[in-house]
Amino acid sequence: MEETHRKIIEESVQLFLKFGVRSVTMDDVSRELGISKKTLYKYVSNKTELVDQGVKITFKKVMEDLKAISDKTENAIDELFTVDEYFDDMMRTQHPAMLYQLKKYHAETFGWLDKSKVKFILDTTRKNLKKGTEQGYYRTDINHDYIAYIYLAHSLLMESDNDSIPETVCESSEFHREHVLYHIRGIASPKGLEYLKQKLNKNEG
């Protein structure tokens, strides 16, 4: 993807995140990016294609960011906290109805994202479980596949387009932190629980 094309997609994503997918028109994109509609349509044929490319390039960046976090964070428990902070920061910049609008107005792209997200959560959770078990922070008697599916189910349930949980709860940083703590306490070894206790005490101090 050439630089101009990438810049158009990335800047369009920022508009979608700020105002929502439904509200932003191709005229808005052209005006806000300071480019002609002719230039815009040189790279994408319509809004559906723009949204699709935007979702896919953003998802790729998130995967790269999380891989970098995993690679540079030696401790498996620290990795979970860092990932939680990453998504907390991301949620602050996202329009609250983003997923709902994507699902309603761009179903094919939403379907791709949903499928890709499921695979990614399962893969990264299994990798973290393996790391934590090898380090002695997680119990050796846990079933990594089952725990990965439990974590996936919890993660999907917490999304803001889920009617079962109030939106204000889904968007709460404290709610997501409690999810991480719940997960760790369920799989941690005595060594892991002691490390978690020290970490929490240090953060509160």
Share of the chain above pLDDT 70, in %: 98
Q: What are the φ/ψ torsions at residue 138 (nearest 5 degrees)?
A: -115, 155
Label residue 161 by pLDDT band (50, 70, 90).
low
Whether the pLDDT of residue 52 is over 70: the answer is yes
Own/partner pairs for 133-142, CB < 8 Å, 24+ apart? 135/75, 135/76, 136/189, 136/191, 136/192, 137/75, 137/76, 137/77, 137/188, 137/189, 137/191, 137/192, 137/195, 138/76, 138/187, 138/188, 138/189, 138/192, 139/187, 139/188, 139/189, 139/192, 140/189, 142/187
Whether the pLDDT of residue 162 is over 70: the answer is no
Whether the pLDDT of residue 127 is over 80: the answer is yes
Whether the pLDDT of residue 156 is over 70: the answer is yes
Query: In the prediction, which pLDDT does 58 show?
Result: 95
Query: In the prediction, which pLDDT does 122 show?
Result: 96
H/E stretch holding 20:
none
Which residue bears the tokens 């078990």?
Answer: 133
DSSP 3-state assignment of 115? helix
DSSP 3-state assignment of 53? helix
Average pLDDT, the chain: 93
CATH class of the domain whose range is 3-204: mainly alpha
Nearest to 186 by CA among 126, 153, 141: 141
**Using only C-alpha atoms, what is the Rg of the chain?**
19
Query: In the prediction, which pLDDT does 158 show?
Result: 80
Query: Where exactly are the structural domains of the chain?
Result: 3-204
Q: What does the angle CA 13 – CA 58 – CA 83 come to, to the nearest 5 degrees?
A: 120
What DSSP line would sit under 160-176, residue for residue? TT-TTS-HHHHT-HHHH
Whether the pLDDT of residue 73 is over 80: the answer is yes
Q: Tell me which of 51-60, 126-135, 167-176 is least confident.
A: 167-176
Quick: pLDDT tens for 74-83.
Answer: 999 999 999 9
Give yes or no for a contact between 46 and 26, defined as CB atoms under 8 angstroms apart.
yes
Q: Which residues are bridge partners to 138 per DSSP? A: 188
Whether the pLDDT of residue 160 is over 70: the answer is no
Query: In the prediction, which pLDDT does 205 show?
Result: 60
Higher pLDDT, 46 or 155: 46
